[in-house]
């Protein structure tokens, strides 16, 4: 489903928090360029709850080539700039066997449900097509958390297929849990797609985007 691009609103919220770092001129240029970005196609959002486990699936199409999208997803030191609510993402030293390791800190809200969690995960990339991650429960706020990105070429750009299976090690309200997770996944897929398209269309490095450490 195509939706109007919300990049101006996204960057306006980021700009208010990051103006002291970016300066008025840089912020204005960012907002003007953002208005020309294409609308991402969010084709599928699904969240299933099985006991305490959530199974997530999202599929969207973005107007950017597959190798570009892959490089953005692997830019873990700046990945948090793609989506509001991510406070910090960064690479940690690799495991002894050479596997990549990443750290994520999230502070996020969906209606009245807010949560803050940390995650340390091992990362296995297959260049330009797949990225698999598995969280370390000893260093994360999850009993388990696995994800997979699968990227495919389309006539209009790249199809981004995301799946995740997770069991939080923190309380999730039983009534709001599935709704809150689905709402956040839907918003995240849309915002991430819009930002990826903006980066490709304007040639802006991901590191130059203002981050938003606040809640959403």
How confident is the model over 163-193, as pLDDT tens digits?
999 999 988 777 677 888 898 899 999 999 9
Q: Is the pLDDT of residue 3 over 80?
A: no
Q: How far apart are CA 73 and CA 110, in angstroms?
A: 24
pTM of the model as a whole? 0.82
Pinpoint the alpha helices (H) of the chain.
Answer: 7-22, 24-34, 66-73, 177-202
Q: How far apart are CA 89 and CA 213, in angstroms?
A: 11
Q: How far apart are CA 70 and CA 152, in angstroms?
A: 10
Q: Is the pLDDT of residue 54 over 80?
A: yes
Q: Does domain 7-208 have CATH number 3.30.530.20?
A: yes
Residue range 36-48, pLDDT digits in tens: 445 799 999 999 9
> Which residue's structure tokens are 């006991």?
51
pLDDT reported for residue 20: 39
**Residue 7's pLDDT band (boundaries 50, 70, 90)?**
low
**Residue 108's pLDDT band (boundaries 50, 70, 90)?**
confident
Q: How far apart are CA 200 and CA 62, in angstroms?
A: 10
* C-alpha to C-alpha distances, 171 to 138, 144, 187, nearest whole angstrom: 17, 15, 22
Residue range 65-102, pLDDT digits in tens: 999 999 999 999 999 999 888 899 999 999 999 999 99
Q: At what angle are helices 66-73 and 177-202 packed, to 10 degrees?
A: 120
**Residue 27's pLDDT band (boundaries 50, 70, 90)?**
very low
Pairwise pLDDT comparison (21 vs 65), residue with the higher score: 65
Residue range 112-171, pLDDT digits in tens: 667 789 999 999 999 999 999 999 999 999 999 999 999 999 999 999 999 999 999 988
The side-by-side arrangement of strands in the sheet containing 130-135 is 41-50, 53-62, 157-168, 142-154, 130-135, 113-126, 100-110, 86-92
Phi, psi for residue 121 in degrees, rounded to 5: -135, 150
Residues whose CB is less than 8 angstroms from the CB of residue 94 and which lie 6 or more positions away in sequence, other chains included = 100, 101
pLDDT reported for residue 111: 61
* CB of 18 closer than 8 Å to CB of 210: yes
pLDDT reported for residue 53: 94
DSSP label at residue 206: G
pLDDT reported for residue 82: 93
Beta bridge partners of 113: 110
Structure-token pair, residue 98: 């050479």
Pick the closest to residue 167 from 73, 50, 85, 22 (CA basis). Answer: 50
């Amino acid at each position: 489903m195509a939706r109007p691009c919300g990049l101006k609103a996204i960057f306006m919220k980021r700009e208010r928090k990051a103006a002291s770092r970016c300066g008025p001129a840089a912020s204005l240029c960012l907002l003007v360029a953002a208005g020309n970005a294409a609308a991402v196609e969010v084709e599928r959002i699904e969240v299933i709850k099985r006991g305490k486990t959530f199974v997530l699936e999202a599929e969207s199409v973005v107007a950017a080539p597959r190798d570009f999208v892959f490089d953005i997803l692997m830019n873990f030191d700046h990945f948090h700039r793609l989506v509001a609510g991510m406070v910090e993402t960064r690479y940690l030293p690799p495991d002894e066997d050479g596997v990549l390791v990443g750290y994520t800190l999230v502070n996020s809200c969906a209606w009245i449900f807010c949560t803050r969690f940390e995650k340390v995960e091992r990362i296995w990339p297959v260049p330009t097509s797949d990225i698999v991650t598995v969280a370390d429960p000893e260093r994360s706020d999850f009993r388990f958390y696995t994800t997979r990105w699968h990227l495919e070429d389309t006539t209009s750009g790249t199809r981004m297929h995301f799946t995740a299976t997770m069991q939080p090690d923190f309380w999730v309200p039983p009534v709001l849990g599935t709704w809150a997770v689905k709402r956040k996944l839907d918003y995240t897929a849309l915002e991430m797609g819009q930002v990826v398209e903006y980066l490709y269309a304007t040639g802006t490095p991901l590191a130059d985007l203002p981050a938003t450490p606040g809640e959403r």
